[in-house]
């Protein structure tokens, strides 16, 4: 719902059964009327060109594509897009702003605008986008706001803020088309919806023959046997991403772990991603997938530090530990005859923020390391001069001891 019923709101709706097509409809829910088509966005899968056309006349209003390189033999920069408008012709350069924050800049009639991204849902990873007037050193104010929804999203054109732009905008329609083409580049995932699968036609009995010839046989037809019960579908094993920041490990093979690692490093390259979740659900092959999650987390942590110099924090949620390894209250059992058993499920967070207070089952190593290991003279507790055991039957410091990690 818009903040004000008088605001101009466009509904973003991917066209069902037509991948590469997105409809922009005028929201008339406040007036009790049907939504009217305002624009139609099309994407060419071969070139990546996004075109905005008129839904009634199919006239091209503008196009957006990667800007050509400045030199003949240079490669194109994906962080620089060129928006070309028709009637009247105009060009708008959309450039990615360098820095830690996500921002794209564009200019219209000697006024600087900036696109910023908002995290609407931290768990699901939904993104909202806002176009604001850049007024350094004064604070910016928004003019276009996109909010994601399950069906697609909605776009609010803030006319009261457009009236504040100095100098006054002469071609508001051109600014609107340029802003929509830039936004279509950010919501590129809405153009890649798969087409609907055609429903299988129902099996109908054959039509009886209308010939006057007598039937060959008058014997009654044998009873039709009921169809067999469908076999249970097996869950596909492979790389499956539940959300933007969640990766489930279901295949512990080396090739699959390489794919998981590249996927995690690609997600961590986004500076707006606060944390990444690696987990393994209870399954018949939990003895292989759970250690694979622990090894994958250590591998991603090392690779991220080596490539970018950023040291992400590692938090563990071992709520799926086997009952033989824990007692009531989450305390470890002591004694030589009850070795720690690995859990049947594991969840590890690679985070840029402190999550120790958010995870009740988190077990972490002490923040400070003693100058020298503690010497225990009680041999019954398993301690020694090397200090490898802590007197409670655990070795390796918590969850790392389950999988032999340092």
pLDDT in tens, 343-381: 788 888 888 888 776 665 555 544 444 445 545 444 444
Alpha-carbon distance of 101 to 118, in angstroms, equals 11
Task: Return contacts of 398-401, CB within 8 angstroms, 24+ apart.
Answer: 398/316, 398/363, 398/364, 398/365, 399/294, 399/316, 399/318, 399/346, 399/363, 400/294, 401/340
Instruction: Report angle CA 395, 399, 402 to the nearest 5 degrees.
Output: 65
Alpha-carbon distance of 177 to 171, in angstroms, equals 10
User: Is this structure's pTM higher than 0.85?
Assistant: no
377 in Cβ contact with 313 (< 8 Å): no
**Upstream peptide bond of 80 is cis (omega within 30 degrees of 0):** no
132 in Cβ contact with 1 (< 8 Å): no
Location of structure tokens 């279509």: 184
List 248's β-bridge partners, or say none: 240, 279
Kindly report, residue by residue over 129-164, the tens digit of the pLDDT. Answer: 999 999 888 899 999 999 998 888 999 999 999 999
List 117's β-bridge partners, or say none: 129
Alpha-carbon distance of 273 to 245, in angstroms, equals 7
Tokens of 1: 């719902």
CA quadruple 177, 180, 182, 184: dihedral positive or negative? negative
> What pLDDT does 6 receive?
58
Q: Where are the alpha helices (DSSP H) in 222-371?
A: 254-268, 286-308
> What pLDDT does 219 receive?
57
> What pLDDT does 315 receive?
84
> What pLDDT does 386 receive?
46
Count CB neighbours of 23 within 10 A: 20
> What pLDDT does 90 receive?
93
Domain boundaries, the chain: 8-69+77-192, 240-368
Of the candidates 270, 269, 249, the one whose C-alpha atom is nearest the C-alpha of residue 259 is 249
Q: Which residues fall within 8 angstroms of residue 59, CB to CB, at 6 or more apart?
A: 53, 86
In the chain, what is the straight-line distance between the N-terminal and C-terminal CA atoms, in Å? 53
> What pLDDT does 23 receive?
94
> What pLDDT does 150 receive?
84
212 in Cβ contact with 44 (< 8 Å): no
Alpha-carbon distance of 275 to 290, in angstroms, equals 20
Low-confidence ranges of the chain (pLDDT < 70): 1-6, 120-125, 193-242, 318-342, 357-406
**Phi, psi torsion values for 69, nearest 5 degrees:** -65, 150
> What pLDDT does 230 receive?
56
Burial class (CB in 10 A: 0-12, 13-18, 19+), 270: middle
Q: What is the largest CA-CA distance in the chain?
A: 107
Order of all β-strands in the sheet with 246-248: 240-243, 246-248, 275-280, 346-351, 313-317
180 in Cβ contact with 155 (< 8 Å): yes
> What pLDDT does 403 receive?
59
> What pLDDT does 361 receive?
56
> What pLDDT does 201 receive?
39
């Amino acid at each position: 719902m818009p903040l004000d019923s008088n605001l101009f709101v466009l509904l973003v709706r991917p066209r069902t059964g037509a991948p590469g097509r997105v409809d922009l409809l005028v929201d008339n829910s406040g007036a009790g009327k049907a939504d009217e088509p305002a624009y139609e966005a099309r994407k060419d899968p071969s070139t990546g060109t996004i075109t905005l056309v008129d839904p009634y006349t199919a006239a091209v209003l503008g196009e957006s594509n990667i800007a050509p390189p400045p030199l003949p033999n240079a490669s194109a920069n994906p962080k620089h897009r060129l928006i070309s408008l028709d009637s009247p012709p105009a060009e708008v350069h959309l450039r990615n702003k360098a820095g830690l924050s996500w921002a794209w800049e564009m200019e219209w009639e000697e006024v600087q605008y900036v696109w910023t991204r908002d995290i609407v849902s931290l768990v699901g990873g939904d993104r909202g986008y806002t176009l604001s007037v850049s007024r350094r050193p004064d604070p910016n104010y928004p003019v276009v706001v996109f909010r994601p929804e399950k069906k697609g999203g909605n776009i609010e054109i803030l006319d009261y803020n457009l009236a504040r732009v100095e100098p006054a905008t002469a071609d508001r329609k051109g600014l609107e088309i340029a802003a929509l083409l830039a936004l279509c580049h950010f919501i590129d995932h809405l153009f890649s919806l798969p087409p609907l699968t055609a429903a299988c036609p129902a099996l109908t009995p054959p039509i009886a023959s209308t010939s006057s010839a007598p039937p060959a046989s008058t014997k009654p037809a044998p009873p039709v046997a009921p169809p067999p019960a469908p076999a249970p579908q097996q869950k596909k094993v492979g790389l499956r991403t539940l959300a933007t920041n969640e990766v489930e490990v279901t295949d512990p093979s080396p090739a699959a772990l390489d794919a998981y690692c590249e996927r995690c490093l690609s997600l961590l390259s986004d500076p707006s991603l606060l944390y990444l979740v690696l987990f393994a659900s209870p399954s018949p092959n939990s003895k292989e997938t759970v250690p694979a999650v622990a090894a994958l987390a250590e591998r991603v942590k090392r690779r991220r530090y080596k490539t970018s110099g950023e040291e992400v924090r590692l938090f563990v949620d071992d709520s799926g530990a086997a009952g033989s390894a824990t007692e009531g209250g989450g305390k470890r059992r002591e004694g030589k005859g009850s070795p720690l058993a690995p859990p049947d499920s594991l969840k590890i967070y690679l985070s840029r923020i402190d999550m120790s207070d958010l995870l009740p089952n988190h077990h972490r190593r002490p923040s400070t390391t003693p100058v020298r290991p503690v010497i225990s003279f009680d041999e019954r507790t398993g301690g020694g001069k090397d200090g490898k055991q802590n007197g409670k039957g655990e070795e390796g410091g918590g969850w790392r001891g389950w999988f032999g990690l340092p």
